[in-house]
Amino acid sequence: MPRPTRRAVLQGATALAGVGCGPGSAPIQRDTSSGSPPPILYIYVDQLRYDALGCTGNPLVRSPNLDALAAQAVLFSSCVTNAPSCRASRTSMMTGLHVFEHGVWDNHVRPDPALQSHVRRLRDEGGYRTLVVGKTHLHDGLGHLDDHVDQLRRWGFSDAVELPDPQQHDLQSAHSDWL
């Protein structure tokens, strides 16, 4: 299968087309000739410069697995966040809304899982099984992160393996259980 271009993805020529989540977003349409939707892997990281990978041109960094994945995928190399804080940025990525629209201005404002969500649309309309692994910053709460899975399901995740931020010493997770 040929590698889709960023332009094709953004213009709606691939299975990612129409996965906006706002009012008036086109219904999710997928190619049913293969019988199942194509896999989508979305990697979203904190505090990683655009040039901190071999696949983005850094001659000193060795990142063979991510480089191999990027060679077969769509690599968005000119992205800009619309919010400097983690939670506000993640909420914008989940909802497709600007900070002034969703109201999560900083890491102390909890985002509302009832907001529009492209992940929920992929799950509910596109037939995808959705999974999040890592820190989400999409809810508040103490105790064990597994206690908050219902909130992540409201965002649209079928499954969640969540990890706390390194500064969140008061949260337990599947990883801390393993340790």
State the chain's mean pLDDT as an integer.
82
DSSP 37: P
Residue 5, φ and ψ in degrees, nearest 5:
-90, 160
* pLDDT exceeds 90 at position 100: yes
What does the pLDDT average to over 126-130? 92
pLDDT confidence of residue 62: 93
Distance CA(2)–CA(13), nearest Å, equals: 12
Please report which confidence band the pLDDT of residue 133 belongs to, taking 50, 70 and 90 as the band edges.
Answer: very high
* pLDDT exceeds 70 at position 9: no
* pLDDT exceeds 70 at position 106: yes
DSSP 121: H
Angle at 148 between CA 121 and CA 128, to 5 degrees: 25
pLDDT confidence of residue 10: 45
More confident residue, 117 or 175: 117
Nearest to 48 by CA among 30, 59, 61, 36: 61
**Known catalytic residue at 86:** yes
On the 0-12 / 13-18 / 19+ scale of CB atoms within 10 A, 162 is buried
Q: What is the pLDDT of residues 21-58, one digit of tens each?
A: 555 566 666 555 667 778 888 887 777 787 889 998 99
As a whole-number percent, the residues of the chain with pLDDT over 70 amount to 81
* pLDDT exceeds 70 at position 99: yes
What does the pLDDT average to over 61-83? 85
What does the pLDDT average to over 115-138? 92
Least confident of 58-67, 116-125, 169-178: 169-178
On the 0-12 / 13-18 / 19+ scale of CB atoms within 10 A, 149 is middle
Residue at 17: amino acid letter: A
User: Which residue is listed with tokens 């990612």?
Assistant: 16
Catalytic one of 21, 102, 118, 137: 137
